[in-house]
Amino acid sequence: MRIGIDLGGTKIEGIVLDAAGEVRWRRRVATPRDDYAGTLATVARLVQALEQDCGARCSVGVGIPGTLSAATGRVKNANATWLNDRALDADLVQALGRPIRLANDANCLAVSEASDGAGAGTAVVFGVILGTGVGGGIVVHGRPLAGANGIAGEWGHNPLPWPGPDEQPGPPCYCGKHGCIETFLSGPGFQRDFEEATGQALAPPEIVARAVAGEPVAAAALCRYEHRLARALASVINVLDPDVIVLAGGMSNIERLYASVPALWRAFVFSDAVVTRLARNHHGDSSGVRGAAWLWPAGAPSEVQLPS
């Protein structure tokens, strides 16, 4: 049995996967915001409760909205800011009394989809989160690629490639730069683009619904989004050349992306043919927590039966 923990800014979800990769038990609790000690204690209690559910001592994998710094060994880039500059992996090892594996939540998404989701059976998977922010994770032959600096897959903070005059210098980003991919392709970025063009503040699902219904200004905004996504993913293909790109997050629910974007990216990929697939995630909101569980292989050393 494997436990996966998805440590988010508002909730902490835990699951137990059986040997076949099926979710057998699931629990969800609120995150103690701005309380690091409380967060550690909550994770420990959640693991204990899940082990009571399944009657076994399990391996534990944890996905976080950030990454570990190669320079300090502490968390960086987490939007759950109370985790930043903390030795979260070491503190969880102490709290749980066993080894753990910890990874960025986008990497966990990619692991889940590579294991038994939209990327199953392929060698290289790029998992994309298109939500409040834009993140990415890379899996090669079933294993997440963290990179020397712990930021592999962080395509959202590269500049939008092949920008037009109206896209320069681009919107300001919280990272301190302008024109990052995230500022165009996140849900808030799509909403901002529509509002700047129309003066209307609408949520992304409403804009998409209007576009599908044929409203010209909404259709134009969605076309801009598709073209920007195609260019951004083409730059990933030119560097990584993945077998499949899997989309997750709220913007991944736009069905027409899966036909329109591959048709558009052909003009920007440095190849005479493009066989990379663009796929919707198979596991929805559970992809991240499932991927955390998959960070450990079956039969991990910490997987022993609890006494009755």
Are the beta carbons of 261 and 223 closer than 8 angstroms?
A: no
N- to C-terminal Cα separation, the chain? 17
Comma-separated ranges of CATH 3.30.420.40 domains in the chain: 2-108+287-305, 121-281
pTM: 0.81
Instruction: With both helix axes pointing from N to C terminus, report the angle between 187-198 and 204-212 in degrees, rounded to the nearest 10.
Output: 60
Q: What are the residues facing 104 on neighbouring strands?
A: 64
CATH superfamily of 2-108+287-305: ATPase, nucleotide binding domain (3.30.420.40)
Q: Which is nearest to 295 in space by CA: 42, 148, 135, 111?
A: 111
CA distance 17 to 253: 26
Half-sphere exposure of 37 (CA within 13 A, CB side): 0
CATH number, span 121-281: 3.30.420.40
Give me the tens of pLDDT residue by residue for the chain, a chain 308 residues long: 899 998 987 789 999 998 888 899 999 999 999 999 999 999 999 999 999 999 999 999 999 988 899 889 999 988 788 999 999 999 999 999 999 999 888 899 998 899 889 999 999 999 998 987 888 999 999 888 988 888 899 999 999 999 999 999 999 998 889 999 999 999 999 999 999 999 999 999 999 999 999 999 999 999 999 999 999 999 999 999 999 999 988 899 999 999 999 999 999 999 999 999 999 999 877 788 998 998 887 544 444 333 33
